[in-house]
A and B are shown apart, each in its own frame.
Chain A
Amino acid sequence: MVFFLIALLICCFFCLYRIGAGPTPPDRTVAIDILGILMIGFCAILSLFTGKDLYMNVAISWALLAFIGTIALAKYLEGRTFDE
C-alpha cells in the first residue's frame, strides 16, 4: 500500500513542478487538472486498502469540483467574461 501511495505522490510532485515552473498559464492549468485526477486515484487506493466507504464519496465530489475549476480557468484563459 505504501509503495503505491508513494508512487502516486511522486506523480503529484511532478505536477507541482509543472505548476511552479510552467512558462505559460495553460501549462499551470493542465497541471492543476492532472493533479485533480491523480487525487481521485489516491482516494480510490485509500478506499481499496482500508475498506471504508468514505473515500469514494471524497473521490466523486473531487472529480466534479476539479472539473468546474478547470472549466473556469479555461474560460479565463480564453480572455472572455464568465457570463457568456
Chain B
Amino acid sequence: MSNLVIILVSLGIFFNFAGCVGLIRFPDIYNRLQASTKCVTMGTILILVAVMVHFGWNSITLKAFFCILFILLTAPTAAHAISRGSHRAGFPLWEGSVVDRYQEDFPQNKKE
C-alpha cells in the first residue's frame, strides 16, 4: 500500500470527522446541514478515490467510480430536500441568523 493511499484515506477521515463535529456543535438545523453534508461528502469521495488509486484498472475501481457518481448526485439532492421541507414546515432559524431570503420570497411558508 503506497503512501498516497494512506494520505488520501487520512484526509478523508479528517473531513468526515470535521463534518460530524459540525453536526454536534452547530446551533441550528440549517447550519448543521450546511456543515455536515459538504464535509462528509468530500471525505467519502476522498476515501473512494483512495480505493481507485490502490486497485488500478480493476472492477473495484469501476464500482468506486459509480459510487462517487451516486454520492455526487444524491447527497446535495437529499440536503436540499431536507432544508426545503423543514423550512416549509416552519422549523425556526437560529436566533443569531441575520437574513432569511427564502422567507422573503415565499411568505406563505409558515413562520414560528
Contact = CB atoms under 8 A, between A and B. Distances in A.
A30 B88 CA distance: 16
A24 to B, nearest CB: 5
Contacts of A66: 74
Given A26-B86, A53-B59, A77-B82, A37 B41 contact: yes
Interface of B: 5, 9-10, 12-13, 16-17, 19-21, 23-24, 29, 32-33, 36-37, 40-41, 43-44, 47-48, 50-51, 54, 59-60, 63-64, 66-67, 70-71, 74-75, 77-79, 81-82, 84-86, 88-89, 91
30 contacts: A4-B10, A7-B13, A8-B16, A10-B20, A11-B13, A11-B20, A14-B21, A26-B82, A30-B79, A33-B78, A34-B19, A34-B40, A37-B41, A37-B44, A38-B20, A40-B48, A41-B12, A41-B44, A44-B50, A44-B64, A48-B9, A59-B63, A60-B66, A63-B71, A64-B70, A67-B70, A74-B84, A75-B81, A76-B85, A77-B85
